[in-house]
A and B are shown apart, each in its own frame.
Chain A
Amino acid sequence: MIYEVFRQERKGQAFQHAGSIGAPNLEFAEVYAREQYGRRQESTALWLVPRDAIDELDDFVDELGRTYHRVDGYSLKEKLKEARERAAKSAAHFPRS
């Protein structure tokens, strides 16, 4: 049985994935998790989750590249670069006299 271990470094902080533990049951997993993720006072709390209980989704399609839907926002950097290149090119075609 594999348990995924999440640890909280300080009270109030979000739990983060720390690693996994192989153990025959939860009782063993608790002892091993304490040993590997708690004995140096590096955690204030641990979550142990059987790997089977985790529902994983990893099918996120972005066929149309609609980056403006993302939380990091609409990325301008590439688009600005392209626009500048276009402007430079057309300036070369129509030099100011």
Chain B
Amino acid sequence: MTTRADLLLQIADDELVLGWRNSEWTGIAPFLEEDVAFSSIAQNEIGHARALYQLVADELGTTADELAFDRSPEEYRCSRLVELRLVPDWARTIARHYLYETADAKRLEELKASGDAEVAGLAEKIDREEAYHRMHAEMWFDRLKDEPRFREALEELRPLVDERGEHGPELAELWEEMTMVRRSVAGATW
């Protein structure tokens, strides 16, 4: 696999897994407006994952769906940060959201400067939506920054942002849920 495919898969896996984790708040967020906003962010992340998988799929001669769902959990390249199941801890959820968006902004800046026009173009597109995610993350950061629980969560989760070696047991559990329906009918092409 090329370095390009490897890097794009890393980002796509981050977005897919975080999108899934954030979607676990749908219907149970602390208040309705936040429920709508956070669910929409989750959906955006999955949309970004889809577009990134598609770029890789074109290169590898496979499909976005196969990349997203038909690999084994060990093959995912996402960071430890995104795989954690944080429901019902809102402070840690917002800490992760803030850490992720901050790191993702840096990564997107680099991609936008890429010599690969396809990659740079997609990064531009994704970044236009991510701008709203950052706005959302920053407003929560401002609101919670003096809360000890939030500060502790930031300290706890910060080292996980770039940790991409071993996965925790949460990823395998998530993978079971995520691919359950897809695997439920043998040979189905959906």
The total of interchain contacts (Cβ-Cβ below 8 angstroms) comes to 30
A27-B142 in contact given A22-B31, A34-B132, A35-B132 (Cβ < 8 Å): yes
Measured between alpha carbons, how far is A23 from B31 in the docked complex, in Å?
A: 9
Asked if A24 CB lies within 8 Å of chain B CBs, one says yes
Q: Which of A14-70 contact B (CB under 8 A)?
A: 21-24, 27-28, 31-32, 34-36, 39
Chain A residues contacting B135 (CB-CB under 8 Å) are 31, 34
B105 proximal to A (CB < 8 A): no
Tell me the minimal C-beta distance from B81 to chain A in angstroms.
23
Consensus secondary structure, chain B interface:
helix
* Interface set of A (CB-CB < 8 Å, partner B): 21-24, 27-28, 31-32, 34-36, 39
Name 19 extra pairs, CB < 8 A, besides A22-B31, A31-B139.
Answer: A21-B33, A22-B32, A22-B33, A23-B33, A27-B139, A27-B142, A28-B33, A28-B139, A28-B143, A31-B132, A31-B136, A32-B34, A32-B36, A32-B37, A34-B132, A35-B37, A36-B33, A36-B36, A39-B40
